[in-house]
Structure 1
Amino acid sequence: MNKDLLKSIGTVIAGILITVIFSNGTDFVLEWLGVFPAIGQAEFDAWMFILAIIYRTIYSATAGYLVAALAPNRPMRHVIILGIIGTIAATLGVLASISKGFVVWYPIVLAVLAFPSVWVGGKMNVTAKQSLTPEEVT
């Protein structure tokens, strides 16, 4: 394997880890603070799902931004791969929710937003790089 391929794989894995660690970490902190109930102990209100959608979307966009920044070449290709992986993972979450009889609209919204949020983050990075003058880059 060449060096760029390994860096590309590592870049996409970093994007996955950023999304998973920050999303689950925020869930844990909000549960610990008593903002969210413990899983299975109480019903979640709609505002809790909306809050989770907001911060998960921000984390996905952040992951897209960082993946574009870390990519050894073709940053948007890396971002698209991350978006596809995120969409597949979120779709599996929808299927798991349906099979367990949980609220279905929340994972559907996450699945729908997975790709666009990552793409927007990546595009923000690429656009920011293009707007820099050569003196600002160095």
Structure 2
Amino acid sequence: MNAKTISILKSIGAVFTGILINVIPAIAIDAVLHITNCYPPMGERMSDGLFLLASSYRLALAILGGFFTAKFSPHSPIGHVITLGVIGTIASTLGHIQMGDQGPAWYSIGLIVISIPLSLLGGFIFLKRKG
């Protein structure tokens, strides 16, 4: 493989890592909270307070995803983080459409709005720590 191919693969890996850091823990936390009856059964609407709880760990995961995307990017970490944020915005928009009236609009719209800024925050935190 040539250097350009390796760089492209590293770029894909950096963004994919950010996606995994966002998605896998969120799904796992959701599952645990459903299994332990902290959340109602799937398909039943949660209270706004529980949506606030879900927002809190999703916010933290978005920052963490941005941090590691920047860390693993082979070049231009902020460009990679913006790519992650755009993917998050698209995924959150699809989630908003799928969610319908199963939750408050502020929750799903909030996830759409914060995807890019929180990914960027994670990237900036990485760059600040890197020096």
Q: TM-score, normalization: structure 2?
A: 0.91
- Aligned-residue sequence identity (percent) comes to 38
Matches within 5 A, 1:14-29: 14-29=17-32
Secondary structure at 2:74 match in 1: coil
Instruction: Please name the residue that 2:9 is paired with.
Output: 6
Instruction: Please name the residue that 2:64 is paired with.
Output: 62
Q: CA RMSD in A?
A: 1.2
- Return the alpha-carbon distance in structure 1 between the equivalents of residues 37 and 107 of structure 2: 20
Deviation of 1:117 after TM superposition, in Å, equals 1.1
User: Is residue 32 from structure 1 mapped to residue 30 from structure 2 by the alignment?
Assistant: no
Q: Which amino acid aligns with 2:122?
A: G
Instruction: Please name the residue that 2:102 is paired with.
Output: 102
Name which one, 1 or 2, has greater alpha-carbon Rg.
Answer: 1
Structure 2 unaligned spans of 5+: none
Q: TM-score, normalization: structure 1?
A: 0.86
Which has the higher mean CA deviation after the structures are superposed, 42-51 or 75-84?
42-51
Structure 1 unaligned spans of 5+: 131-138
1:102-131 deviation digits (Å, cap 9, x = unpaired)? 32321111111111111101110011112x
1:25-82 deviation digits (Å, cap 9, x = unpaired)? 1101111121111212x43111100000010010010010011111111111110100
1:80-103 deviation digits (Å, cap 9, x = unpaired)? 1000100111011112223xx332
